[in-house]
Amino acid sequence: MTDRARLTRRDLIKLSACGAFGSSMSRWLPALANEASKSPDRRRSVILLWMTGGPPQTDTFDMKPGHENGGQFKPIDTSVPGIQICEHLPQVAKLMQYSAPIRSMSTKEGDHTRATYLLRTGNLPQGPIDYPTLGSLFSKELGQENSDLPNFVAVAPYTQFSPAAYGPGFLGPKFAPLVVGDANRVVANGLGMNYDQSLAVKNLSLPQGINVERADARLSLLGDLESDFSSQRPGLNSESHQSAYAAAVRMMRSEAVKAFNLDDEDAKLRDAYGRNQFGQACLLARRLVERGVPFVEVSLNGVGNNQTFAWDTHAQNFTSVKSLLGVLDPAWATLMTDLKDRGLLDSTMIVWMGEFGRTPKINPQMGRDHFPNAWSSVLCGGGIKGGQVVGKTSEDGMKVDDRPVSVQDLFATMCKGLGLDSMKQNVSNVGRPIRLADPTAKPITEIVG
């Protein structure tokens, strides 16, 4: 394995002989999905549905009918008797047997920047330790070296609140996400509607005017320089440089990269996901998971051209949330049924959350403000015993009455559901070993394993 990570000049030349790739890969690709689901040692995948800005629990999974904090939306029955959720999630409601809403998230951090870091890394920003984002943390455990596609793909992250909460931290760039559909730039360029363009991998194709033959010649020249340099000045830097280049070339030339060609999908299925950035990104997530990518995150930053942090509904909460749910419901539900149809739901855990919830009390602008004390997240699919609700909040939604769940508890639960040992340690940038989840964390055992 390490031999393969270290790239010699010969390897670069071999890589550049693209013919070898073309034929050998096309043979096994059609059987890909089936094999992926059957293989006994297939590890689990995760799709994180990240709700930028903090979604209101009282208008989604923890309805408070009859109370003044309940707001304008009505609860509806779901496929599981006794569990009710918001009327604007009708399709998700029909799949409740696969889902476990956690109504008792309790986290103590109400600032976007710090809460984003907390929920995405499991820790508050703490001095010099650069904690990795959960995608880097889990994909490191679930992924395989030298795969055609990167082990962690992030679709349209809106990173402005806390860029560090989206990075690989002390695990290093090797575990950084492949980012497609940069929401930060989408906002700047008004590309919100132009989702196809925004879901492509940047710089994946050769520069204009450079054909494969030229590219091969260039890589071969580079190979000479690299072999000279690393024989004279051996070290981690040039090794990492070479293995990143090898992975990039491998991806550029792999069949698997076709995962990004959404046009290959049936138009009806694309419609079902929703013809918007989030819907199509969920479809992309399925295509990536199908090709073995162990961690994909998809952000719901907004609707239409407002792709920032639309869940941050300090004013006119109900209008905004209704349109957000209109995007979320079909995309999420279609993702689950699509995965189910392909036999992949059992091995794919879906995590729905934001950085905090929103105040049960409705403010004078008909908005809801930041609320970390008692809010909801949802785990579904692979490794999760769905059809049950975790925890309970008070009648007014102001506090957790039963089974408070901390960030670390949530991380430990994910570990358990994914079959990972939460006591596994990584060495941090300060030399101190850090576990996947804190030893004091209590996984929610009733919904996993």
Beta strands in 167-281 (DSSP E): 178-180
In angstroms, give the least distance from the CB of 53 to other proteins: 13
Q: Is residue 395 classed as helix, strand or coil in its secondary structure?
A: coil
- Angstrom distance (rounded) from CA 253 to CA 12: 13
Specify the stretch interacting with other proteins by CB under 8 A; choose among 92-100, 173-181, 267-275, 285-293: 173-181
In angstroms, give the least distance from the CB of 92 to other proteins: 32
In angstroms, give the least distance from the CB of 160 to other proteins: 6
**19-25: long-range contacts, CB 8 A cutoff, minimum separation 24:** 21/253, 21/254, 21/255, 22/253, 25/148, 25/254, 25/255, 25/256
User: Residue 137, interface with other proteins (CB under 8 A)?
Assistant: no
CB atoms within 10 A of CB 364: 6
User: Residue 241, interface with other proteins (CB under 8 A)?
Assistant: yes
Instruction: Tell me how far the alpha carbon of residue 117 is from its chain's centroid.
Output: 15
CA distances from 335 to 1, 32, 135, 294, 414 (A): 34, 18, 19, 16, 19
In angstroms, give the least distance from the CB of 211 to other proteins: 8
Cβ distance 104 to 410 under 8 Å? no
Residue pointed to by tokens 């049936």:
266
Among positions 380-399, residues that touch other proteins (CB under 8 A) are none
97 vs 245, which CB is nearer to other proteins?
245
143 vs 383, which CB is nearer to other proteins?
143
User: Residue 54, interface with other proteins (CB under 8 A)?
Assistant: no
Q: Is the dihedral of CA 236, 241, 247, 250 positive or negative?
A: negative
168 vs 192, which CB is nearer to other proteins?
168
Specify the stretch interacting with other proteins by CB under 8 A; choose among 97-105, 175-183, 373-381, 400-408: 175-183
Tell me the number of residues near other proteins by CB under 8 A.
68
Q: Strands 295-300 and 152-155: what pairing?
A: parallel
Considering only 27, 236, 268, 433, the residue that binds other proteins (CB under 8 A) is 236
115 vs 335, which CB is nearer to other proteins?
115
201 vs 339, which CB is nearer to other proteins?
201
Considering only 139, 242, 313, 373, the residue that binds other proteins (CB under 8 A) is 242
Residue pointed to by tokens 């304008």:
72
> Which residue ranges make up the site for other proteins (CB under 8 A)?
110-111, 113, 125-128, 130, 150, 160-164, 167-170, 172-174, 176, 178-179, 201-208, 211, 213-214, 216-218, 221-222, 224-226, 228-230, 232-238, 240-245, 247-249, 251-252, 429-432
